Amino acid sequence: MALPHRGAGFNADALFRTRKRRMIGRMSPRDPINALCAALPGAEVSDPWGGGHDCWKVGGRMFASLGARRDGVSVKTDSVETAQMLIDARIAERAPYMHRSWVYLPPETAPDELRHRIATSYRLIRAQLPKRVQAGLAPLPEPPFSP
């Protein structure tokens, strides 16, 4: 399905309804990723840019993002070097519109790698939150993380 231009006449609700109708009765590649993110303490989902993005946040800060046009997930790594290593190993791609420390993991990424990268991104973001916000969250799940 060709996506309409986002200029005048673009109707994000119609696009979302069309996508939803196609997905009824079958599992979306996004479902396992959303389930992993939802299982983390204090995780909340929103669509800040409209058009069907799933933006996962903890304490108001993003740790994972699923785009409107692709079914993989973008996550934060601990450094630009780690991100480049994952890209060089062809595990990940450069995450569009994000800092170089973020990578895009395609939906065919191994489940263990996906789980590890989402949990790592969550932990990195959670550690940067103010102490009072961190104190209000449930304890971190012990590795290996399994929702």
108 HSE (CA, 13 A, CB side)? 3
Rounded-to-integer distance, Cα 118 and Cα 115, Å: 5
| pLDDT, mean over the chain | 82
Mean per-residue pLDDT, 89-111:
93
Report the pLDDT value the prediction gives residue 3, as an integer from 0 to 100.
Answer: 42
**Residue 26, C-beta contacts closer than 8 angstroms, at least 6 positions apart:** none
- With a cut of 60, say whether residue 14 has pLDDT above it: no
Element (H, E) at 22: helix 12-23
- With a cut of 60, say whether residue 40 has pLDDT above it: yes
What's the predicted TM-score (pTM) here?
0.77
Report the pLDDT value the prediction gives residue 113, as an integer from 0 to 100.
Answer: 94
The class that CATH gives domain 28-135 is alpha beta
Rounded-to-integer distance, Cα 32 and Cα 118, Å: 12
User: Is the model more confident about 111 or about 18?
Assistant: 111
35 HSE (CA, 13 A, CB side)? 9
Question: How is the chain split into domains, by residue range?
Answer: 28-135
